Amino acid sequence: MTRILEKLLRRLPIGWLQLTHNRNRFLSALAGVSFANVLVFVQLGIAGSMTTATLQPYEFFNADIMISAEDANSLTEGGNVARQWLFQALADPSVTDGTPLYVANLTWEMDGGQTILQTFGVDPKAVDFIGPSVAQKLTSLTLLNSAILDRKTRDLDREEVSLIRPHSPVTFESEGNTITLFDTFSGGGGFNADGYAFVSDQTFLNLFAKRSSGAPDHILLHVTRGADTDVVVSRLRDAIADKTLRIRSYDAARDEDLRYQKTQRPTGLIFGFGVLIGILVGIVIVYQVLSTDVASHLREYATFKAMGYGQGFFLGIVFEEAMILAIFGFVPGVIVATGMLTFMNNMTGLPIEMTVNTAIMVFFGTLAACALSGAIATRRLANADPAELF
Amino acid sequence: MDPRNDFPVEVQALNHWYGQGEARKQAIFDVNLSIKSGSLTVLMGPSGSGKTTLLTLIGCLRDVMDGSVRLLGSELNGSVRATNEALRKRSGFIFQAHNLHESLSAQQNVMMGLQVHGRAADGAQFKEAAKHVLGLVGLGDRMEYLPHNLSGGQKQRVAVARALVGNPDIVFADEPTAALDRESGMNVVKMLKQLGVERGTTTVMVTHDGRILEQADRIITLEDGRLVKDTNP
């Protein structure tokens, strides 16, 4: 390693030699950087899972415009929308089709516990509004009280769930109703429920007796090919009498939901702070290591000053050390964090995972944080006074 | 060497003090001297006489407050950092407490004396030069040793090699032979004398070692910050 760095830096890698001279201290420093990395990775993993979980249900549908109640900050929150606005929207020349969407949580009571399924009630014929992973299975919803189940639903036996097929359905009870599962699709547990289920609108109204067909949670619309969605949205806002409604493009609704989860829901803020705390811990650890290192080598640095070495040389050493700590601390950090995130994914069913993008982002973040720590630590170099050597 | 530097050290009306106000204590009083190129000059005096202060002032390690010090032709009073660094690169320092870098081997410590002049296009040249000088001080077989594996005398010889490897114009030394046995000490002095003759390298050192006094071209004695005796033995 010394030779590689020597060739790379075209000078003696003093930072590397200093750090590795005391192996216990070096390993402690690396453990500190790795710990900070793990902290950041875990927080980012959870925050990322919130993003994935928020966006996941939007992938189940295929729409250009969504009409929701004014308090509907997300797909699962807020009041209902009068179905009459669907018909008024269909009067617009650019709106080709529309369908109501019903959303509620269904409780599946099992031995020793219960599983919450975020359940979407859709018209089984509205295949065009359903994403490809679910659309081809919609026909199995035409029978009353039939459903298709998210096979990644938390706490379910994956092997048993994988056997659910139209020819080998499974039934379960929920609040006095017997529901038959004919098929499965890939979803994944979120923060609001353990998994997802699709039922027909008729089954939905049967399961949730208090709900009315005239008041879905959202209305999904398609516009003609080539039409400007924003223009249509604007026209619908003018045409529909209820000015409290949120009429947005489907993409805008998804983006606003994500922004709401990240910036206004407590979970999003907590995860954000967690990332910040991890970064601060990392900066403090690296600063402490570098600062101690500079302090313990002041006499050597003063000697180098006496020999004519300039400030750039000393900054180079401190930054060399910062980069070494960042790189060597990152490797165990990313390995441990991957293991922890996988464990958390298995334990919670949340879509928590290590992604290449996250790893790259944290790596460069670590380099930046270590460089910042190094920049702060170099202030102590001023204390190296060559006149004190004699 | 620059022909202007027949006298690489020229000191005029030099005063220096520590502290301020009532705590002010003057360490150097109106010192005037010039040191000839290639000579071996010894600074002597009792403890607290100001010889180390004078050495650090003319060695460009301490700011000149009052008076004039010209080192290798450059005025140090009011000199900027770049000038100081350039002058230090042309100087060699041998400290009593060797001040070797504990993480670097003997050879790497000596290479630091070369690296200050610029990055090596080929590190092997630096290694070879360091090896050569370590051989001259009798440490050819200790090149890979870290300082904590060397004796006090061996460390001091590494420090001497580090100071001399860059072929400095002037060497400043503080008790360079204190940790050395008679033979090693004499070898170091002979090397310095030889450099003076062959390259015109000037040596200014603080020492009480009688063996060196015999070899000195000039002995300057300080007492209470004043130059009280200047002899050419």
Which residue is it, tokens 């009593």? B96
- CB–CB of A340/A352 below 8 Å? no
User: Residue B1: is its pLDDT beyond 50?
Assistant: no
pLDDT at A297 (0 to 100): 84
Tell me the C-alpha to C-alpha distance, in Å, between residue A184 and each of A58, A154, A162.
17, 14, 8
According to the per-residue pLDDT averaged within each range, which of A108-117, B2-11, B158-167, B203-212 is highest? B158-167
Rounded to two decimals, what is the model's pTM?
A: 0.75
**How far are the Cα atoms of A212, A300, B74, B101 from residue A304, in angstroms, in the given order?**
82, 6, 21, 9
Residue B215: count other Cβ atoms within 10 Å of its Cβ: 16
Q: Which amino acid is it at A361?
A: M
Binned at pLDDT 50, 70 and 90, residue A340 comes out as: very high
- Give the span between the Cα atoms of B132 and A295, in whole angstroms: 33
Question: What pLDDT does B4 receive?
Answer: 45
Q: What CA–CA distance (Å, rounded) separates B127 from A297?
A: 24
Q: What is the ipTM of this complex?
A: 0.89
Give the helix/strand (H/E) hosting A62.
none
Give CA–CA dist B102/A221, Å, rounded. 74
Hey, is the C-beta of A309 within 8 angstroms of any chain B C-beta? Answer: yes
- Compare all CA atoms of chain A with the CA of B63 and give the residue at the minimum distance: A387
List alpha helices for chain A, DSSP H.
Answer: 2-9, 14-21, 23-59, 84-90, 132-135, 158-162, 201-207, 229-239, 250-263, 266-296, 298-307, 311-348, 356-377
Does position B119 have pLDDT exceeding 80, yes or no? no
Helices vs strands, H then E, count in chain B: 7, 10
- Report the number of secondary-structure helices (H) and strands (E) in chain A: 13, 9
pLDDT digits (tens, 9 = 90+) for B207-222: 888 778 888 999 999 9
Which of A16-20, A101-105, B119-123, B175-179 is predicted with the least confidence, judged by mean pLDDT? B119-123
Q: For chains A and B, count residue pairs whose Cβ atoms are closer than 8 Å.
A: 76
Pick from A18, A309, A387: CB nearest B116 = A309
Q: What are phi and psi of B15, to 5 degrees?
A: -125, 145
Q: What pLDDT shows up at residue B163?
A: 93
CB contact under 8 A, A307 and B62: no
Asked if A147 is an interface residue toward chain B (Cβ–Cβ < 8 A), one would say no
Confidence of residue A218 (pLDDT cuts 50, 70, 90): very high
* C-alpha–C-alpha distance, residues A200 and A378, integer Å: 66
Q: Which fold has domain B36-49+82-231?
A: Rossmann fold (3.40.50)
Distance from CA of B3 to the nearest CA of A (A): 23
Best B88, B117, B165, B172 member to test A by mutation, with max A CBs in 10 Å, is B88
If one compares A159 and A7, the residue with the highest pLDDT of the two is A159
Domains of chain A, residue spans: 2-54+266-380, 82-244
Q: Are strands A177-185 and B66-71 parallel, antiparallel or unpaired?
A: unpaired
Element (H, E) at B212: helix B210-215
> What is the least distance, in Å, from the CA of B143 to any CA of chain A?
15
The DSSP secondary-structure symbol of A380 reads G
- Which residues make beta-bridge pairs with A115? A108
Which residues in chain B touch residue A21, judged by CB atoms under 8 angstroms apart? 102-103
Structure tokens at A249: 């493009």
What does the CA dihedral A60, A134, A193, A149 come to, rounded to 10 degrees?
A: 180
pLDDT tens string A110-157: 767 788 999 999 999 999 999 998 998 999 899 999 999 999 888 888
B71 forms beta bridges with B9, B74
Helix axes A356-377, A311-348, angle to 10 degrees: 140
Backbone region of residue B226 per phi and psi (left: phi > 0; alpha: psi in -120 to 50; beta: other values) = beta
Cβ contacts of B121 on chain A, cutoff 8 Å: 10
Please report the pLDDT score of residue A269 as a whole number: 82
A1–chain B Cβ distance below 8 A for any pair: no
Distance CA A62, CA A10 (A): 58
Mapped onto helix, strand or coil, the DSSP state of residue B138 is coil
Q: Which of A6, A307, A389 sits opposite B113 (nearest CB)?
A: A307
Chain A: nearest CA to B8, how far in angstroms?
18
Could you tell me what percentage of chain A is helix, strand and coil, using 3-state DSSP and rounding each to the nearest 5? 55, 20, 25
The answer to whether A381 touches A301, Cβ cutoff 8 Å, is yes
Q: What's the first-to-final CA gap in chain B, in angstroms?
A: 26
